[in-house]
Amino acid sequence: MAGKSPCPVKNCTKARNDNQLMCLHHWRRTPKLLKNAVWDTYLAWGRVVGAALETKHAAAVAMRDAQRAAIAAVEEKERNETLRSLL
Ligand SMILES: [Zn+2]
């Protein structure tokens, strides 16, 4: 059974399943291109089992970068909404 962890998006109080990057609310708010990048790099990472260490490392870095970009995009979207609501 998958456990739960906090959603990594700033100020989010929701939980995510351990096999998910973020809570469902924020995943739905992630731009499609970045969602695709998260999936593509995750699948690529799954395909390098047994590959050379450098190949596995490169795949892990690509996956981490895609995840960070997705989280950053959602945070920026919310920051902009907060700013607009203050105007
Ligand atoms: Zn969240």
Query: What are the tens digits of pLDDT across the range 41-52?
Result: 999 999 998 999
Q: Are 6 and 22 in contact (CB under 8 A)?
A: no
pTM attached to this predicted model: 0.90
Calpha distance 29→71 (Å, rounded): 10
Residue 87 confidence class, pLDDT cut points 50, 70, 90: confident
The per-residue pLDDT for 1 is 56
Calpha distance 77→29 (Å, rounded): 8
User: How many A from CA of 58 to the centre of ligand 1?
Assistant: 27
User: How many A from CA of 83 to the centre of ligand 1?
Assistant: 19
User: How many A from CA of 19 to the centre of ligand 1?
Assistant: 14
User: How many A from CA of 21 to the centre of ligand 1?
Assistant: 9
- What is the residue whose two structure tokens read 């260490």? 53
DSSP 12: -
Six token digits for residue 45: 């990472």
User: How many A from CA of 31 to the centre of ligand 1?
Assistant: 14
Among left, alpha and beta (phi > 0; psi -120 to 50; other), residue 9 is beta
User: How many A from CA of 34 to the centre of ligand 1?
Assistant: 16
The per-residue pLDDT for 2 is 67
